[in-house]
Amino acid sequence: MKKKLLAILLVMSFGLTFLPIPAHADVLKEGLPEVAGASYAVIDGDSCDVLFGKKYDQTFDPQTLVQMMTAVLIIEKGNLKDTVTAPEMPAAINSGNTVFLRKNEEFKLSRLLEAILTYNANDAAYAAAVHIGGSEEKFIDMMNAEAKNLGMTNTEFKSVYGGAKGQKSTAHDMALLAAKASSLEKYVSLTLKPTMNWNGEMFAHDNIPNANGFQQIMEDGVGLKLSNQKGPKTDKIHLAASYTKGGRTVVAVIADADSEAGVYVDAETLLNYGMDHTKSMKLISKNTPLASLTLAGGQRLRVAAQKNYSVTTINDNSIRPEVRTEIDDLDLPIKKGDVVGQIKAGTGQKATSVPLIALDDVKKPVNWWKAAAILLLLLYLALFIARIYYRSKRRKTPPRRPGKARRQPPRALKHAAGRPGPGPRRPLPANPSGGSESGRRSLENRVREERNRRTYTIHREYPGDDR
């Protein structure tokens, strides 16, 4: 378990209401417009709060709406300048719009993205997915992982371009995906193109009309994706659209509508109603200090939200947003950008958690007593090792070199020099006999004569001396 820091002082930068957060509720519940679709969801594009809806947790096969996720991943994971070589196409590709890509035909990834968003081209989506993911299966795994990140809890993708067995989603989940798509400038700019030109080996046309006609119905609206496939298993229409006004975006998804013209009118009605009867309140600003923590050693740590967060209320609602801040048990050191807690906020829909991150680096405090003890121990060890080293060096006797004469002790040298006291030394007389018997007798005679001479000299200098 993490060791909890007890010395924490939370100083909030602004007033927040710390109340329980509602689990799941729509902002608007009464007087809602009637639409023909079996289910629909209208959400705020920033907070993703559900403004209102009908049976939006009911599952259906999103069909061509899956291309929204394909396009989002192409923009975020791919390089639009890449050259894509078309692979072998599956037969199911022909169930919807195509640009008739031939195997090994080459196009820029940006052109394939345009064909997906403007013309709903199944083969363009398949070729781009295989290029980025390596295979359709691996790209589908990427789609499902991104769905989880977006909170699409009731979605399972099985195709990169259209309908598939076992594939499911809900109007609410598709609205979350549509909100993500509407935040991407590249995505929106391509969906707003009225026409597209294509020059392929098997398909070449100019001014191909946009497959999504929602822009023709709602001037400021954006038709994010339309699914209008007709077949033995489905003849229903699905639409994802958005509307931006005054810097705020509202997103609507309608599932299982009966006609294309009808779904456009219904989408316009829903978007206008959501924009006119609700308001968005920015509650948390990214990287703006929310709290100041006092940690061990008196160190200060500022925390802030990792991203912006807004809540949505009805226009005449004066209730303050409900917010709860939670600080984790912290371990030092802490680096700038580390997640240290979360702030939970929400009105109208289930609570949303926004990570709290550190704005400062906090070092682990130094234990000076421990540091001093370690330093003294190291010093003692150094002295102990040095003492042992010098003792061993003194005891070590250098080996005697063979053939070298041993040095005579000082007394022997003094006697050999022939002087009774200090003074300049005389050199020893040479031994002319080279160590023979006669030579030794001669040396003894000379030494005797020298002693007699010295005795005579001393008696002359000191006549009263008894020596």
Neighbours of 396 (CB within 10 A): 7
Q: What is the DSSP string of 9-56?
A: --EESS--B--PPPSS--S--SSPPP-SSSEEEEEETTT--EEEEEST
d(CA 71, CA 189): 13
Quick one: which of 361, 321, 363 has its CA closest to 344? 321
108 to 86, 114, 315: CA distances (angstroms): 11, 10, 47
d(CA 456, CA 467): 10
- The secondary structure of residue 168, as a DSSP letter, is B
171-182 vs 66-77: helix crossing angle, rounded to 10 = 30
Quick one: which of 358, 334, 335 has its CA closest to 2? 334
Q: Which residues pair with 85 in a beta bridge?
A: 106
The enclosing H or E element of 329 equals: none
d(CA 380, CA 94): 84
109-119 vs 122-133: helix crossing angle, rounded to 10 = 140
d(CA 426, CA 418): 7
66-77 vs 136-149: helix crossing angle, rounded to 10 = 90
Is there a contact between 36 and 257 (Cβ–Cβ < 8 Å)?
A: yes
Residue 55, annotated as binding a ligand: no
- The secondary structure of residue 156, as a DSSP letter, is B
Is there a contact between 226 and 237 (Cβ–Cβ < 8 Å)?
A: yes
Tell me if the bond preceding 424 is cis, omega within 30° of 0. no
Query: Which residues are annotated as part of the binding site for substrate?
Result: 233
Known binding-site residue numbers: 233
